[in-house]
Amino acid sequence: MTRYVLRRIAFGLLSLFAVSLITFVTTRLSGDVTYLLAPMDATREEIAQVRANYGLDKPLPVQFATYLKNAVQGDFGTSIKYGVPALDLVLSRLPATILLSLTGFALALVVGVPLGILAARRRGGPADHFASLFSLVGQAMPGFWVAIMLQLVFAVTLRVLPTGGAGSPAHLILPAIAVSWFSIAAFMRLTRGSMLEVLESDYVKLARVKGNPERVVVLKHAFRNALIPLVTFAGLNLGVLLGGAVVIESVFAWPGVGQLMIASIGARDYPIVQAGVLVTASMFIAVNLVVDLLYGVLDPRIRNE
Amino acid sequence: MSDSVSNAAIAPPAVRGEVLEVIDAPKDAAVRVGRSRRRKGGRLPWLALLLLAPIVIFGLFGPILAPQDPTSINPSDALIPPMYFGGTWEHVLGTDHTGRDMLSRLIDGARNSLMVAFFGVALAGAFGTAVGLLSGYLRGAVDEILMRIVDMQLAFPAILLAVLLAAVIGGGLMTVIISLMITFWSTYARVVRGETLLQMQRDYVALARVAGASRWRIMRLHVLPNLLSVVLVLATLQLGAAVGFEAALTFLGLGIQPPASAWGLMISDGRLFMSQAWWIPTVPGIALVMTVLGANLLGDWLRDRFDPRLRQL
């Protein structure tokens, strides 16, 4: 187990390194990065100053080493627009993003899984057909468009929920539905498939033959075993939600990291974008690490691999 | 089916030993085709084709079909609703806030969407297939390193890469295509690697090796053609995702830029006029859903028909 944990942690660190490398290389694609970091109306002296400050006059490997050193120390430069350290600004927006992603995740589980169980139990019935149609069409609807349609119906036409912003639980409802939309459909389809497979198995038949009530058979015997593929998917799905949140936040002016990053691209505030990407990617890697470690606990076969 | 054609056509008949491959490959392919015919019959995925037909026809023949100039602004015709909602035949799907014809914009935007999705998926497919083939064929250290890179790639969400690229090189067609390529290749690499490992156990590879074919030759002429059906299925399944991804980026202002037409742009324009004109964000969204749904259904159908092994995807 110790070896497994160490290997996963090492891989997580390696991924972090790779993400920083990708970020670094991408920055250099544009040619001279000085112009991304300096204000647009900077004088020649100011540009030279920026270049010296960031060590941009040194060879690339040295620059990368400096960049890594600064990143480890939490120094991603200063926001051009707000004049405060980029990391501080990004971290101040992080709780909102985490709140939105986790609410969306909870919603996807609470809605998607029971619907999937229902569809599997009533196989071929109207509920099942509706569930299949919803998961098929639901997964084809882009999240940002779902977000706008929700705004159109509930905020603009019915006027029951706010169009955007944050501050009250009501502000969270539409963004959370939009963020979880795809995942609800996906969880439903997966739960249905997994349940159907398990319901056919011998031990479920035995549980029925023994005279257990249907509710016990479905929830205790079948569902527990149908959970295994769901856990795998849930782990992967958290990342999908995090990526989706970046887009949805912009639609609802939700004050999270994603909205900050998109707004900063327009304002040419490069340090913010870079800090935002690295922080979000780090969270993603951390989530994956936790999921991997959980598998190790749940399934002994994996940790001895 | 195409396996037998390509293998038989490529192998020069006179070379000793290569005869073996010619015998081996068509038989192998024939068994596969026979099996899939029996499983699914000859039914075509009509719903998928019906959903995809408009975008494909619009994409290919857009300029001829568009009833009006998609960029011509006409303030006196602004915000006309679609037909049956108070509109007229002149603007079947209504007009936007500047009086541009929605149908013409939709048709014009289809070409941009199709092009970006197609190139993004094709480039990702070519690169990912090459990596997967090398990894599965060579195994050992190369395999280990390449697959770790794939794992890492999967830890970097596509949208973040696009955001980063847009911040550095600006938004545009290229930003979307590059982001698609860099994020989508890893799925191909993983699937193709698995498929290559399976193909390597088949007799035709052993026979080709016995016949003295080089590793490069076996990879290129024998294994690769047998991977194409998997790659094609995967590409179709990813096409829908690619169209959605492009629309999302364009909507955020990181993808296709105005004054070009794109569905994502129409939706973001429409947001500001939602209270007066529900159809501006709704109509292009429906086109988007039709396209993604059509591509997904077609991909599912191809997968069931040609490669049931991919079912977990």
Full DSSP string of B17-34: THHHHHHHHHHHHHHHHH
| DSSP, res A256 | S
Residue B18 has pLDDT above 80, yes or no: no
How far A141 CA lies from chain B's nearest CA (Å)? 5
Residue B31 has pLDDT above 60, yes or no: no
For chain A, give every domain's residue range: 94-268+283-294
How high does pLDDT run on average in chain A?
84
Q: What is the pLDDT of residues B250-262, one digit of tens each?
A: 999 888 888 888 8
Q: Quick one: angle between helices B263-271 and B224-251, nearest 10?
A: 20
Question: Is pLDDT at A126 greater than 80 in this prediction?
Answer: yes
Asked if the Cβ–Cβ distance from B151 to A149 is below 8 Å, we say no
Q: Which of A105-109, A226-230, B149-153 has the lowest mean pLDDT?
A: A226-230
Give residue-wise pLDDT tens across range B184-207.
898 899 889 988 988 888 888 888
By C-alpha distance, the chain B residue nearest A263 is: B252
Answer whether residue B1 shows pLDDT above 60. Answer: no
Pick the residue of A265, A270, A272, A279 with the most B CBs within 10 A to test the interface with B by mutation: A265
Q: What is the distance in angstroms between the Cα of A184 and the nearest Cα belonging to chain B?
A: 17
Please tell me if residue A25 touches chain B, with a CB cutoff of 8 Å: no
Of the two residues A149 and B63, the one the predictor is more confident about is A149
> Minimum mean pLDDT among A62-76, B6-20, B143-157, B196-210: which range?
B6-20
Q: Do B164 and A277 touch (CB under 8 A)?
A: yes
C-beta of residue A287 within 8 angstroms of C-beta of residue B156 = no
DSSP for B158-221 reads HHHHHHHHHHHH-SSHHHHHHHHHHHHHHHHHHHHHHHHHHHHTSHHHHHHHHTT--HHHIIII
Nearest to A29 among B168, B271, B275 (CB): B168
∠ CA B70-B121-B270, nearest 5°, is 30
Rounded to whole angstroms, what are the CA distances from B298 to B7, B56, B120, B290, B306? 27, 13, 19, 12, 12
A149–B167 CB contact, under 8 Å:
no
Cβ–Cβ gap A148/B296 under 8 Å: no
> What is the pTM assigned to this prediction?
0.82
pLDDT value of position B311: 55
Cβ–Cβ < 8 Å for B205, B196: no
Among A299-303, B55-59, B296-300, which stretch is predicted with the lowest mean pLDDT?
A299-303
CA A93 to CA A281: how far, in whole Å?
15
The verdict on B148 touching A (C-beta cutoff 8 Å) is yes
> Under DSSP, is residue A125 helix (H, G, I), strand (E, B) or coil?
coil
Inter-chain CB proximity A142 and B292 less than 8 Å: yes
Least confident of A58-72, A192-206, A291-305: A291-305
Angle at A283 between CA A282 and CA A286, to 5 degrees: 85
A94-268+283-294: CATH superfamily: MetI-like (1.10.3720.10)
Q: Identify all chain B residues contacting A277, using CB atoms and an 8 Å cutoff.
A: 160, 163-164
